[in-house]
Structure 1
Amino acid sequence: MTFAKTALALLFASVAVAPAAAQEVDRPECVAPAKPGGGFDLTCRIAQQGLEKQFDGPMQVTFMPGGIGAVAINLFNTTRTDDPNAIVAFSSGSLLNMATGKYGEWGANDVRFLATAGTDYGAVIVRADSQYQTLGDLMADLEKDPGSVVMGAGGSVGSQDWMKAAILMKADNLDARKMRYVAFDGGGDAIAGLLGGSIKVYFGDVGEMVSHLDTGEMRILAVMSDERLPEPFSEISTAKEAGYDASWPIVRGFYMGKNVSDAAYEEWVKAFNAAYATDEWAALVKDKGLLPLDLSGQEMDADMKSRVERMTGIAKEAGLIE
């Protein structure tokens, strides 16, 4: 009888252990919730390259465009809530969408924020052959007629990129509701719109411009930071230097499904912390045009949820939500 009970106990123990083993990260994947070429793509590439030594196999990057992250967060709250292998790229724009209800029923409490890739800043971008040589040139036209300049970005009215334009106009006492704004589904599409001539000004992020600036196709009129950024952006003036009190810092990072196991979550946290401690990670972040911000685990999760709370307050003041 004792032997039988022991055998039964061992059988149950093996069954209980099996699900935990299945939660191990064996097929790492980063989901970029937009088309290739924008900020989400950049964020996933940092994870793909920066965590290369932390996992046995290479990390896959999957593109999942739709609603500036809405499709992705819906998927990870329905069919992939406990996926141990997948992380999803997000930015401050994603946090703003959570704060303003752009993701429908899904909010900050419906994901597990995991780790940061670094910080970024908003940027006012034009084509290399643009008539606007300085931010002042652009603002002069907007002062004459706020609707005379077609501007655009990877987000709808009320999104992070729209907020960049609105903050800049507010800094010049202009009515943001009168701007002529075109919404694209992600930074890649917006850049294509700028280069194709459908918009004259693109409100993007500094980080996503690193590779594009090398081609000579675009110029940054100003960065939306309080102080000048280090190389390769040290020669670009800030909006504040041009006389406009407009700044927009951006956090880039990753979240997981809300039902992912603690074991899988901690395995990812451990991988990021190990990467943070290397010179290779610092060099990679810099090469991608970001500034360092090393946050992970519960500290990072709490920080992001606090940011969403603050953005909710700002959105209410701006009349974007009730």
Structure 2
Amino acid sequence: MKASILKALGTSVVLSLGATSAAWSTECIAPANPGGGWDFTCRQIGKILYDLKLVDEPVQVTNMAGAGGGVAFAHVVNERNTDNDLIVAASSATTTRLAQNAFGGATADQVRFVGAIGADPGVIVVAADSPFQSLNDMVEAIKADPGSVAFAGGSAAGGFDHMKPLQILKAAGFDDIKAIKYIGVDGGADAITQTVGGFTQAMTGDMSEIVGFIQSGEVRALAVLTEERVPGFEDIPTAREQGYDVVAVNWRGLYVPKGISDDDFNMWAERLQAVADSDEWKEAMVANGLAPFTKVGGDFQSWIDQVVADTVTLSKEIGVIQ
């Protein structure tokens, strides 16, 4: 099977085998080159699965870059649909791209999302001298004059950063979301610079992007988009506790082939829950700036279904998809 992958995809696949003499029973596909978030997910979860003896042999990590995850997704759907020893790293970017038809007609229901066990929390941030003291202040200002507040974010228009303020305004009962100004820049640091410099009134991004700026006092976070306040940042209120039922986190998790049995799906959910509960994973989250966010099995799949549906609706409203 590995030879056929290489033949089909050529140099776009890098096999990271570790000890070449080992036998493999489980494979984790990271849909990107080594070093990124999906690669981290496969390597860290794979290591803990083996350390906890949840799998019999070390987990093979296969880096399968291309089309923002689309190459790996197509490979799983078309060639590995019943492989119960296959797991694939995923994140919020995966579901956003699927919802926006970025994988050439592929849809989220062609695989099964087995769980997420950590997340980079979404945040809404303003400059330290901003007149907005709360998320409510900002929402009311936008309702009164939608053009008065521009958001900077590290994703393109229609991407995950853009969706965060749109979700908040929708939760506030504001429907003219095309009127909300968003400027996509090259990463979170640039988005912070735009906001601190006064070129935009707010930044939409992830917690990991703003930690240093919060510590230096250059910005103030109006809300974190998690279910509960983030450990270590307990002074930042959630959007929920301010009256906006929005959870938007860049979760780290896995999907599996759709054609595996319910028993195998539940087995992977139980394994992932065991990883989430381990001290080793908790240490990895702290070391890599992730917040607790655990949803596995049917609960996670139902949550994903709703996230995809909401993303489709918003994407149509702003014209990203028809």
The two structures have a TM-score, normalised by structure 1, of 0.62
CA positional deviation for 1:102? 3.8
Match of residue 205 from structure 2: 204
Question: Who is 2:179 aligned against?
Answer: 178
- Conserved? CA contact 1:224–1:249, under 8 Å: yes
Give the equivalent residue in structure 2 for 1:113: 113
SS in structure 2 at match of 1:291:
strand
SS in 2 for 1:146: helix
Matching residue's letter, 2:168: L
1:245 counterpart residue number: 244
- The structure-2 alpha-carbon separation of the partners of 1:168 and 1:79, relative to structure 1 and needing over 3 Å to count, comes to same
Q: Which moved more, 1:97-106 or 1:304-313?
A: 304-313
Q: What corresponds to 1:307 in structure 2?
A: 306
SS, match of residue 154 in structure 1: coil
Distance 2:122 2:108 in 1: 22
Alpha carbon RMSD of aligned pairs, Å? Answer: 4.7
Residue 160 of structure 2 is aligned to residue 193 of structure 1: no
Separation in 2 of the partners of 1:140 and 1:196? 24
Superposition pairs of residues 156-305 of structure 1, within 5 angstroms: 156-157=157-158, 159-170=159-170, 171=172, 173=174, 175-183=176-184, 189-197=186-194, 200=200, 201-206=202-207, 208-209=208-209, 212=212, 216=216, 219-225=220-226, 228-239=228-239, 245=244, 247-250=246-249, 251-258=251-258, 271-282=271-282, 284-285=284-285, 288-296=289-297, 299=298, 302-303=301-302
Report if the CA contact (8 A) 2:95-2:308 is conserved.
no
Post-superposition offset of 1:122: 2.8
Question: 5 Å matches for 1:67-78?
Answer: 67=68, 69-77=69-77
For the residues of structure 2 that align with 1:182 and 1:63, how far apart are their CA atoms? 31
Once the two structures are superposed, residues 192-241 of structure 1 have per-residue CA deviations (whole angstroms, 9 ceiling, x without a partner) of: 422554874432234x4586568647653311346x51421211123456
Q: CA deviation at 1:73?
A: 2.6
Structure 1 CA distance for aligned equivalents of residues 35 and 145 of structure 2 = 36
Conserved 8 A contact 1:285-1:292? no
Secondary structure of 1:235's partner? coil
1:311 maps to a residue whose letter is D
8 Å contact from structure 1 (residues 152, 203) kept in 2: yes
1:104 is matched with 104
Q: 1:152 to 1:34 in 2, by over 3 A?
A: farther
Verify the 8 A CA contact 1:30 1:89 in the aligned structure 2.
Answer: no
Identity, in percent, stands at: 22
Q: TM-score, normalised by structure 2?
A: 0.62
Q: Partners in 2 of 1:35 and 1:181 — Cα distance?
A: 31
Listed as ranges, the gaps of 5+ residues in structure 1 are 1-21
Matched, 1:90 2:91: yes
Tell me which residue corresponds to 1:31: 30
**Gapped regions of structure 2 (runs ≥ 5):** 1-22
In structure 2, give the amino acid aligned to 1:179: I
Post-superposition offset of 1:107: 1.0
Q: Count how many residue pairs are aligned between Structure 1 and Structure 2.
A: 285
